[in-house]
Amino acid sequence: MPARLASAGRTKYEVADIVRGHREELERLVTLRPEQHRALSAMALCRTAALGGHLDRCTRCDFQRPSYNSCRNRHCPKCQALAQERWIHARSERVLPVGHFHVVFTVPSELHPLMAFRREELFGALFGAATQTLAELARTKLDATMGITAVLHTWTRELRFHPHVHCLVTAGGLSLDRSRWVPRDGFLFPVKILGALFRGKMMDAVRRLHRDGAFDDFEPFRDPQGFDRLMGRLAKHRWVVYSKKPFATSDHLFRYLGRYTHRVGIANSRLLEVNDREVTFATKQGGTATLTPVEFLRRLVQHVLPPGFVKIRHYGLYAGANVPSRLARARELLPDGHDEAPLASTWYELLIALTGHDVGVCPHCGAEVLPGPLTRPPQPTARAPPFP
């Protein structure tokens, strides 16, 4: 069944349109995991009558509009904007008023098949290797503890499988004896040292998992030499770590944090053309990619995370256990940097800040708009009409 054009007032095309039109074909070709089934179902139903909602009515004129509920699935491109704003507000109370480096840890492509086979274990190992690398260098080079927020991404702009971790790292840290703040300006640590240490820690984690039998059913390791050959290739690689110089604490930092924490594989705004045969979407630097709808969905579901897997984690000063102790002490030692305008806090304020529209005001006469019950029970989403 072909995809349906998105409703007026939204992007011309939506990922949900492609899901509704081509999911059945995907499922004939690919065996999906339960969490992938759930994610696709959520995307297809998000903000449709099937999930229910309410009817906004103007208190003065005849204006009314239905507002349907969101699916709240973390992989849905329509559900992350408000969640991002809420997260930014919550984190603003913990982020220290110092510069933050952006560091990206990437594993070689040779490791991708194994990571796809044991996703939860190796994604966890990736978090551990990246953050332990930063913590160890902070300890040995600065004699300090830094604050780290780490976020897992698994995609390229072409939606290929490419696991990597983004880390936002304080430009300095609290001395181990908690007596002073140790600044770190200009650059964090040499990227060659970061890469070499990261490689060693990640390879150690892979070896431990292999000893524990985590890869017993991995087809390439049925060859007795398969594991050793992979490790040999990984050891020869220069593992890439990217580090960007710090920027000052400001509203820009919070935008930057939210941009990486709540990004999904592809946003609806990147869809350029969708029809029965092709999906064309923007990649980077003005480029585009064109796939069949089924191949688009196949790539998309690669990035559905294991159930309950935590993709945003905090370490060092930002770890939950350190908030009342080390983080509080670091804040005492730093000048107050909270001179920006307060961030929106309620969902209503967040929505206005995000969209620029006040949903409580009638767009026709300017009177107050109040929510009320839908005039009829929610109906299933209609079968999508064909593309012209």
* Phi, psi dihedrals of residue 61, rounded to the nearest 5°: -105, -170
The pTM for the full model equals: 0.84
Average pLDDT value for residue range 7-25: 83
- Helix (H) or strand (E) segment spanning residue 246: strand 241-247
CA–CA separation, 127 and 303 (whole Å)? 16
Average pLDDT value for residue range 97-106: 91
pLDDT band, residue 48 (cuts 50/70/90) = confident
> Is residue 344 scored above 90 in pLDDT?
no
- Convert the pLDDT of each residue in 345-383 to its tens digit: 554 555 555 455 667 788 888 788 887 777 555 455 444
Number of H helices, E strands in the chain: 11, 14
- Convert the pLDDT of each residue in 64-73 to its tens digit: 888 888 888 8
Kindly report the number of other CB atoms within 10 A of residue 17's CB atom.
25
Highest-scoring range by mean pLDDT, 5-9, 104-108, 249-253 = 104-108
CA–CA separation, 128 and 205 (whole Å)? 9
Residue with tokens 């709540």: 262
| Range from 10-19, 210-219, 310-319, 351-360 carrying the lowest mean pLDDT | 351-360
Q: What angle, rounded to 10 degrees, do the helices at 226-236 and 191-211 form? A: 170
Cβ 297 vs Cβ 26: under 8 Å: yes
CA–CA separation, 322 and 316 (whole Å)? 7
% the chain with pLDDT above 90: 59
CA–CA separation, 120 and 305 (whole Å)? 8
> Is residue 78 scored above 60 in pLDDT?
yes
CA–CA separation, 131 and 349 (whole Å)? 35
- Strands 288-291, 369-372: pairing is unpaired
CA–CA separation, 245 and 188 (whole Å)? 8
CA–CA separation, 13 and 268 (whole Å)? 7
Kindly report the number of other CB atoms within 10 A of residue 14's CB atom.
24
* pLDDT value of residue 230: 97
Cβ 205 vs Cβ 128: under 8 Å: yes
* pLDDT value of residue 158: 96
Q: Which two tokens stand for residue 48?
A: 């449709």
State the chain's mean pLDDT as an integer: 85
3-state SS class at 8: coil
- Convert the pLDDT of each residue in 205-253 to its tens digit: 999 999 999 999 999 999 999 999 999 999 999 898 998 877 655 456 6
Average pLDDT value for residue range 282-290: 94
Cβ 19 vs Cβ 297: under 8 Å: yes
- Helix (H) or strand (E) segment spanning residue 28: helix 15-29
CATH topology classification for 80-265+303-333 = Replication Protein E1; Chain: A, (3.40.1310)
Query: Would you list the domain boundaries of the chain?
Result: 1-78+272-302+359-378, 80-265+303-333
CA–CA separation, 253 and 327 (whole Å)? 18
Which of 280, 277, 247 lies closest to 168 in space, CA to CA?
247
- Helix (H) or strand (E) segment spanning residue 102: strand 100-106
Which of 310, 341, 343, 322 lies closest to 170 in space, CA to CA?
322
Average pLDDT value for residue range 146-156: 94
Q: Is 8 buried (19+), middle (13-18) or exposed (0-12) by CB count in 10 A?
A: exposed
DSSP 295-353: HHHHHHHTTPPPTT---EEEEETTSGGGIIIIIHHHHHHS-----SPPPP-SHHHHHHH
Average pLDDT value for residue range 106-135: 97
* pLDDT value of residue 188: 93
* pLDDT value of residue 386: 39
